Structure 1
Amino acid sequence: MKIISVLGALLLSITIYSQKISGKVTDESNQAISYCSISLENINTSTITDINGNYSIDIPENAKKSDYIIFESNGYDDKKVTVQQITTDAHIKLGKKVNIIPEVSITGKKTKNEALGNTKRPMLTFSKMFDKNVPTIEQGQIFDIYKWTKLNSYNFFIIPSSKFKEITLKLNIYSVKDNLPQQSLLYENIIFKTNTTGWQTIDLQKYKLIYTDLDQLAITLQLVESVPQDNADFVFGISAKKTLSNDLLFRYQSQGKWEASKGSFISNININYMKDKNENTPKNISQTDNNTEDQSLIDYYKNKEKAGKTVYGKNKSGKYIDLKNAKIYYEEYGSGEPLVLLHGNNGSISDFYNQIPDLAKQFKVIVLDTRGQGRSTDLSTEDYTYEKFSDDLLAVTKELNINKFNIVGWSDGGITGLLFTINHPDLVNKLIVVGANLNPEGIETKTLDIFKKQLEIKDVPNQRLIKLMVQQPHIETNQLKTIKNPVLVIAGSNDVIKEEHTKLINSSIPNSQLLIVPDSSHYVPFEKPDLLNKSIIKFLKI
């Protein structure tokens, strides 16, 4: 009998369950709780209550009766109920949280008003779409704030191509840890309805949202209700823009894992603030589409899109060279003196789509994808190093029987070119570097900080490539002094490589020339292709 009872308990714990459960969520006085998040722990199943507190959730077949369903709502204590329990009683009551808000005195102190974030919509944007069938999806971003910040409003831009009669959104605010949302900071729901597209304003004045001793806030939106247009498919999205940092936030349900990706909402928060003398200004203050950095990013992504539509990087004549733990993909164009092109971090052959046609008229152009990038593979697991990239270049040129050649290296490719020339000067005729650096300190602090923050995110894509930029290279100026080859050092006037650093590279190489390209950023090959191509050809033909 004891064995039978044990088996019975075991079967109860593993029994699969598949059914729809409907019920209601209220407070302890039976008042309906609207838009309460409901999710099945560790299973991708979730829903929310409607405005009257009613809900319906599908329990999947892989759920056990002992699995927990979690109910969460701003201002209430979370509640866990097993699948077994909810089938017996689907009426869930949540207890009110004790809301202890410390009194904040500002007597005799004046606050200032500011907008943090994007106050204008740039020319180049993309859309973050919402699914009306998954109301638990949250999307948003992180804002840097002052140590004393009062939120007045949250402003965001709905894409003009959206199609709806009316939508209801729920705004969420979280503290931030390790660059991801951590804990809800709200004690009541903030609900916003609209029937228009374009700029939207959620007035936050009545909620008296004052935050002290926080450096960041995460603000997200949920689509909790929608009314479609007549005879039209529902479409709703928020405008976003590309950035170098992982500022966009997403999670599928309240118990789900937060994900971060490159970009940011076209949104801002209007605040009042007090600032200490030694306090830094938040980095996301009043960014507009007239910003030089924004414009260079717009140009960058436009060029990447154009590059992807060319034959370069996917030519049928392209070949692979097998190394011990990698396959290096390369393409050849033109004839004459060999010229090797090396792209930048997380780039590919196609990044030289503006250079290859002109240079192939004068030289035999060999352009390759660095290991683990483009079409080149990498089976190793250790950290990337520029020395390894240099070794790969040596192996490729030996395989191709190239005994003497020129190098054009852009960004990381320029670093590889410098190291290769230091280590193998007899193989190099002339070297051209564009936007190269000797160490991480040569990168503008703001950009380097972005890369460092990306490394703090668990499972961030391209982690080894980001780590490479943050921790390497380590080239000494006395190493540069050993280079006897002719070198042309190029950088943009608004490059992320500090201008004094570029000038240091030039002054440290005995036979070196310097070209600072006006009105350009780190993306000189994209932004000033004609000037760059002519400069390369002129230098190599001297």
Structure 2
Amino acid sequence: MHFEVHGRQDEAARTIVLSSGLGGSGTYWAPQLPALTERFRVVTYDHRGTGRTGGTVPEDGGIAAMADDVMAIVEALGLPRFDFMGHALGGLIGLEIARRHPDLIDCLILINAWGKADPHSGRCFDARIALLENTGIEAFVKAQPLFLYPAVWMSENAERMAADEAHGIAHFQGRDNVLRRIAALRAFDIEADLADLEVETLVVATKDDLLVPYTRSLALVEAMPKAELALFDFGAHAVNIVYPDLFNETVINFLTRPEPRS
């Protein structure tokens, strides 16, 4: 597993592990690093089958195997406890770790995540799979921003969109890896266990998320005993990129406020 440690390096530093979504790259969190590294030791990593980790996603491992990969990093760093922030699929990994290792996570931050995939999200993934299978990598990559960003933001950031598209095509993680990662997030269902997750949790959602209805986040907050909601009107699926300053402030306030939280 390729991972990087940013910010504070002292052993007493509070550590937060960041896990991205379907793209799997640790570079997804670039807008968060300047703010987070002022206070924390920050760990980013590339998911198995993506980026500098590469390799093959296990055919039957699902989200549990992805959680095992994170725990291998935690063990390598010797972390007794840590905070965890996950975007979409990364949030599912955080929920799985919280279910299996509740004693290790201090705070959990879930961004446009879910306890069980919504049928609408399934429709979106069906369309993306059809593009990949029937049209090819270029069409799949070109469509990706439509599920991530608001239209006006994409219009105002055309150069970035073009650069991201070229990079996505050049570094495509591979058909089988994409399909297995999508299958894993579609199969994940932790709803029956949410009431038992006693981890302090911030659930971040946006009303204009095209891929994941924000009602999935409302369901998480209703079911988890120590969860609270930060709901944005605008920012779409990748709100941490669209509104980094407001997002970072929200996260840091949650992580650093005095106890008790609930």
Q: How many Å apart are 1:508 and its aligned residue?
A: 0.8
Question: TM (normalized to structure 2)?
Answer: 0.76
Match of 2:236 in 1: 521
Kindly provide the amino acid, as one letter, of the partner of residue 51 in structure 2.
G
Match of 2:88 in 1: 411
Q: How many Å apart are 1:443 and its aligned residue?
A: 4.4
Kindly indicate whether the alpha-carbon contact (under 8 Å) linking 1:415 and 1:438 is maintained by their aligned counterparts in 2: yes
1:329 and 2:2 correspond:
yes
Tell me how far apart the structure 1 counterparts of residues 94 and 213 of structure 2 sit (CA, whole Å).
Answer: 19
Residue identity over aligned pairs, in percent, reads: 26
1:497 and 2:212 correspond:
yes
**Which stretch shows the higher mean deviation, 434-443 or 398-407?**
434-443
Q: Specify whether residues 523 and 458 from structure 1 end up closer, same or farther in structure 2 by C-alpha distance, changes over 3 A only.
A: closer
Q: Specify whether residues 381 and 364 from structure 1 end up closer, same or farther in structure 2 by C-alpha distance, changes over 3 A only.
A: closer
Q: How many Å apart are 1:511 and its aligned residue?
A: 0.4
Tell me how far apart the structure 1 counterparts of residues 190 and 132 of structure 2 sit (CA, whole Å).
Answer: 25
SS of aligned partner of 2:118 = helix
Kindly indicate whether the alpha-carbon contact (under 8 Å) linking 1:390 and 1:419 is maintained by their aligned counterparts in 2: yes
Q: Specify whether residues 347 and 394 from structure 1 end up closer, same or farther in structure 2 by C-alpha distance, changes over 3 A only.
A: closer
Q: Specify whether residues 487 and 473 from structure 1 end up closer, same or farther in structure 2 by C-alpha distance, changes over 3 A only.
A: farther
Kindly indicate whether the alpha-carbon contact (under 8 Å) linking 1:344 and 1:413 is maintained by their aligned counterparts in 2: yes
Tell me how far apart the structure 1 counterparts of residues 52 and 128 of structure 2 sit (CA, whole Å).
Answer: 24
SS of aligned partner of 1:426 = coil
Kindly provide the amino acid, as one letter, of the partner of residue 342 in structure 1.
S
Higher helix proportion: 2
SS of aligned partner of 2:113 = coil
Q: Specify whether residues 377 and 400 from structure 1 end up closer, same or farther in structure 2 by C-alpha distance, changes over 3 A only.
A: same
Q: How many Å apart are 1:409 and its aligned residue?
A: 0.5
Kindly provide the amino acid, as one letter, of the partner of residue 17 in structure 2.
V
Unaligned runs of 5+ in 2: 138-173, 258-262
In the TM superposition, structure 1's runs of 4+ consecutive aligned residues that sit over 6 Å from their partners are none
1:449 and 2:163 correspond:
no
Match of 1:338 in 2: 15
Q: How many Å apart are 1:377 and its aligned residue?
A: 2.4
Match of 1:399 among 39, 51, 76: 76
SS of aligned partner of 1:367 = strand
Q: Specify whether residues 428 and 345 from structure 1 end up closer, same or farther in structure 2 by C-alpha distance, changes over 3 A only.
A: same
1:530 and 2:207 correspond:
no
SS of aligned partner of 1:440 = coil
Kindly indicate whether the alpha-carbon contact (under 8 Å) linking 2:58 and 2:65 is maintained by their aligned counterparts in 1: no
Tell me how far apart the structure 2 counterparts of residues 384 and 521 of structure 1 sit (CA, whole Å).
Answer: 29
Kindly provide the amino acid, as one letter, of the partner of residue 361 in structure 1.
E
Q: Give the superposed CA RMSD.
A: 2.1
Kindly provide the amino acid, as one letter, of the partner of residue 500 in structure 1.
T
Q: How many Å apart are 1:491 and its aligned residue?
A: 1.4
Alignment of 1:68-79 (within 5 A): none
Kindly indicate whether the alpha-carbon contact (under 8 Å) linking 2:92 and 2:113 is maintained by their aligned counterparts in 1: yes
Kindly provide the amino acid, as one letter, of the partner of residue 437 in structure 1.
W
Kindly provide the amino acid, as one letter, of the partner of residue 216 in structure 2.
H
Aligned residues: 215
Tell me how far apart the structure 2 counterparts of residues 454 and 424 of structure 1 sit (CA, whole Å).
Answer: 38
Kindly indicate whether the alpha-carbon contact (under 8 Å) linking 1:452 and 1:470 is maintained by their aligned counterparts in 2: no
SS of aligned partner of 1:425 = coil
1:483 and 2:197 correspond:
yes
Match of 2:178 in 1: 465
Kindly indicate whether the alpha-carbon contact (under 8 Å) linking 1:342 and 1:408 is maintained by their aligned counterparts in 2: yes
SS of aligned partner of 1:491 = strand
Tell me how far apart the structure 2 counterparts of residues 459 and 409 of structure 1 sit (CA, whole Å).
Answer: 28
SS of aligned partner of 1:409 = strand
1:430-477 per-residue CA deviation (whole Å, 9 max, x = no partner) reads: 000101123332544541331342465498643332343245242232
Kindly provide the amino acid, as one letter, of the partner of residue 7 in structure 2.
G
Tell me how far apart the structure 1 counterparts of residues 80 and 87 of structure 2 sit (CA, whole Å).
Answer: 22
Q: How many Å apart are 1:531 and its aligned residue?
A: 1.0
1:429 and 2:106 correspond:
yes
Tell me how far apart the structure 1 counterparts of residues 56 and 178 of structure 2 sit (CA, whole Å).
Answer: 15
1:169-226 per-residue CA deviation (whole Å, 9 max, x = no partner) reads: xxxxxxxxxxxxxxxxxxxxxxxxxxxxxxxxxxxxxxxxxxxxxxxxxxxxxxxxxx
Unaligned runs of 5+ in 1: 1-327
Tell me how far apart the structure 1 counterparts of residues 16 and 119 of structure 2 sit (CA, whole Å).
Answer: 27
Kindly indicate whether the alpha-carbon contact (under 8 Å) linking 2:202 and 2:230 is maintained by their aligned counterparts in 1: yes
SS of aligned partner of 2:28 = helix
Q: How many Å apart are 1:382 and its aligned residue?
A: 2.4
Kindly provide the amino acid, as one letter, of the partner of residue 533 in structure 1.
N
Question: TM (normalized to structure 1)?
Answer: 0.38
Q: Specify whether residues 473 and 431 from structure 1 end up closer, same or farther in structure 2 by C-alpha distance, changes over 3 A only.
A: farther
Alignment of 1:47-66 (within 5 A): none
Q: How many Å apart are 1:422 and its aligned residue?
A: 0.9
SS of aligned partner of 1:519 = coil
Tell me how far apart the structure 1 counterparts of residues 176 and 233 of structure 2 sit (CA, whole Å).
Answer: 32
Q: Specify whether residues 401 and 419 from structure 1 end up closer, same or farther in structure 2 by C-alpha distance, changes over 3 A only.
A: same
Tell me how far apart the structure 2 counterparts of residues 437 and 462 of structure 1 sit (CA, whole Å).
Answer: 24
1:147-180 per-residue CA deviation (whole Å, 9 max, x = no partner) reads: xxxxxxxxxxxxxxxxxxxxxxxxxxxxxxxxxx
Match of 2:225 in 1: 510
Tell me how far apart the structure 1 counterparts of residues 213 and 237 of structure 2 sit (CA, whole Å).
Answer: 10
1:357-404 per-residue CA deviation (whole Å, 9 max, x = no partner) reads: 100001011111111112112256524511111001111101110010
**Which stretch shows the higher mean deviation, 522-531 or 341-350?**
341-350
Q: How many Å apart are 1:348 and its aligned residue?
A: 1.0
